[in-house]
Structure 1
């Protein structure tokens, strides 16, 4: 079986070379296609599956070793193509599980919103019943309610949660791009990241020039990643990698700025 894989990859690589189209993306697809044809026959994590991947990569090495120092890129795409193939079925299960998690998350958000509305109703009733009290009591109750409704701790927790969710969505987009995710799936993650990112934005009056520039960079990189989906795979991966690093840097800077504000 593995010999057949090596033979097929060797033949396909030679055909691509003869046609003058032996590029890194071609090598990745050749390996991915060859491994996909037999990967489903093996159990995930089995030694047979591991040997299949090693033989596929070995076939690329044997056919590209004459390139000398440049072979690293060919080996990299060969490994990526093989992993995309063996992980395709498992990735489908991951996508299904993530879809179920999104449904649960939507339900939780709905229940949290209902709870918040219930709390707001209770506070409104308390405020209403205080109208017959003295001005001193009314002011005290009104001040207490405003303190509860505008809790800085709750606001901070919500912002941190949105930041984490935005970063998780970007990470998932990167993983999907690397391990065979469809363009629609990657775009869903980018849209999700954009939604959470907007919720994580600080209030305009608290945004300094440096933070504004960082936010602008993130917005541009989100747009660039979306455009790159329709282009070459390497360009998409580079855009997503830059987005991942930029979001991590932005939220780290925001946290530092928040701490400095608290100290002052």
Structure 2
């Protein structure tokens, strides 16, 4: 915990102590607020969070050590506040990450639409240039334009877009399962992931056995996730984590 946060928690506790308002609930609120703020600002991992909690409780004990028989309840309140602070702090950080992912999805949709519009516009312009030409030329141009629309490059672009949408949906499902309030908040993301996965799938005849196995893994995990959500099973977090790894591995192969 930064010195400023340590000083703040000591100052807040000292203030309510001097005012005669040092109650368990107030202690809990002060510790919770301090830990939440510190955790939400952290960019590091588990060790740093543990350090925040340790320093926070140390600062609390520094103020409460002369409380005598009341100290047991005070310490319990401080610990409860620290746990709640860690949870809320991480939820705040995850909410920001989730918002960034949503922005990325929106940007992806805009850019994909722009590329499609640009390609369609170019092909339309090409086709228009043949309108005053002999019928044979117009037919040849129209055929070439259709071939371009059905080309491997356009299909690859559309498939890659579907892959990214699948991955983003699975990532959102993971975030919702870890920090959401209920299982129902996860279901829309899994449904979306399934829909985009269907659009992203390879031609079965054009894949080797290694890729085919990865596809089966993804499809199995999608099914398991849907069943776990429907039955409100706690294993949904584990399944979603495995699904994320399977999807990432498949689309990077």
Q: Which category of TM-score, normalised to the shorter sequence, fits these structures? A: 0.5 to 0.7
Where does residue 181 of structure 1 map in the other structure? 180
SS at match of 2:186: helix
Compare CA radii of gyration and give the structure with the larger one: 2
Instruction: Flag the 1:108–1:251 CA change in 2: closer, same or farther, 3 A.
Output: closer
1:125 aligns to 2:128 (yes or no): yes
1:44 aligns to 2:4 (yes or no): no
Instruction: Flag the 1:218–1:53 CA change in 2: closer, same or farther, 3 A.
Output: same
5+ long unaligned stretches in structure 2: 1-8, 11-27, 43-47, 58-82
Deviation track 1:49-75 (CA, whole Å, cap 9, x = no partner) reads 754534799xxxxxxxxxxxxxxxxxx
5+ long unaligned stretches in structure 1: 3-34, 58-79, 254-264
Q: Check the 8 A contact 1:163/1:251 in 2, yes or no.
A: yes
Q: Check the 8 A contact 1:40/1:86 in 2, yes or no.
A: no
Q: How far is 1:102 from its partner?
A: 3.8
Q: How far is 1:116 from its partner?
A: 4.4
Q: Check the 8 A contact 1:190/1:222 in 2, yes or no.
A: yes
Distance (whole Å) between structure 1 residues aligned to residue 191 and residue 29 of structure 2: 30
Q: Check the 8 A contact 1:56/1:82 in 2, yes or no.
A: no
- Aligned CA RMSD, in angstroms, stands at 4.3
For structure 1, which segment, 145-154 or 218-227, has the greater mean C-alpha deviation from structure 2 after superposition? Answer: 145-154
Where does residue 250 of structure 2 map in the other structure? 250
Deviation track 1:185-231 (CA, whole Å, cap 9, x = no partner) reads 43333233223312211235535676556434423321221232352
SS at match of 1:44: helix
Where does residue 206 of structure 2 map in the other structure? 206
TM-score by length of 1: 0.54
1:231 aligns to 2:232 (yes or no): yes
SS at match of 1:40: helix
Distance (whole Å) between structure 2 residues aligned to residue 36 and residue 206 of structure 1: 60
In structure 1, which of residues 78, 95, 98 is the aligned counterpart of residue 98 of structure 2? Answer: 95
Q: Where in structure 2 are the equivalents of 1:163-174 lying within 5 Å?
A: 163-174=163-174
Where does residue 145 of structure 1 map in the other structure? 145
Where does residue 156 of structure 2 map in the other structure? 156
Q: How far is 1:87 from its partner?
A: 0.8
Instruction: Flag the 1:185–1:106 CA change in 2: closer, same or farther, 3 A.
Output: farther
Instruction: Flag the 1:199–1:37 CA change in 2: closer, same or farther, 3 A.
Output: farther
TM-score by length of 2: 0.56
